[in-house]
Structure 1
Amino acid sequence: MVDRTLDASGLRCPMPLLKTKLELNGMSPGEELEVIATDSGSARDIPAFLALSSHTLVSSAEADGEYRFVIKCGG
């Protein structure tokens, strides 16, 4: 069960990534965030950002043009 959900559906790049960053900034280490996006750039941008951050990508999935990411907030 995630602690927060961010619905970025309908937003175009780079807004899903920017909103994800803002949401993570307001979270405590260990909390999990689910991000839902429809912009295909999110499939590339969000994992790339997480690889350079203290946050961890727990899971990602794509179905019918909807991208879902579960992210564990780092310290």
Structure 2
Amino acid sequence: MSIDSLDSGPGDSGSGEWPIARDVDARDLRCPLPLLRAKQALRDLASGEALRVRATDVGSVRDFQSFAELSGHRLLHQSEEAGVYTHILVKS
């Protein structure tokens, strides 16, 4: 998956909107802390709920891609703006 890819949300006709159930601010945290914070937050979500994580560690892009592949959670979106990487995961 490349950065800036976006799938449509439930009932969405392509706008890419997905309701965020939880937001994690992992800016200024180094690997592996952004991913660890995301894992902790995912435990509290129900299946199908979305988690948004904001991080400044460039390695988080690869980390979240690998995590989604291995865990079965859906990596819905990744983007970068002004050095902040946004990842949206949907719990499986």
Measured on the aligned residues, the alpha-carbon RMSD in Å equals 0.8
Please, which of 49, 56, 64 is the counterpart of residue 31 of structure 1?
Answer: 49
Identity among equivalent pairs (%): 42
- Higher RCO by CA contacts (8 Å cutoff, separation 6 or greater): 1
| Unpaired stretches in structure 2, ≥5 consecutive residues | 1-18
Q: Secondary structure at the match of 1:39?
A: coil
Deviation at 1:63, TM superposition (A): 1.4
Counterpart of 2:78 in structure 1: which amino acid? S
Structure 1 runs of 4+ with >6 Å offset: none
- Mapping of residues 1-75 of structure 1, within 5 Å: 1-74=19-92
TM-score by length of structure 2 reads 0.77
Number of equivalenced pairs: 74
TM-score by length of structure 1 reads 0.93
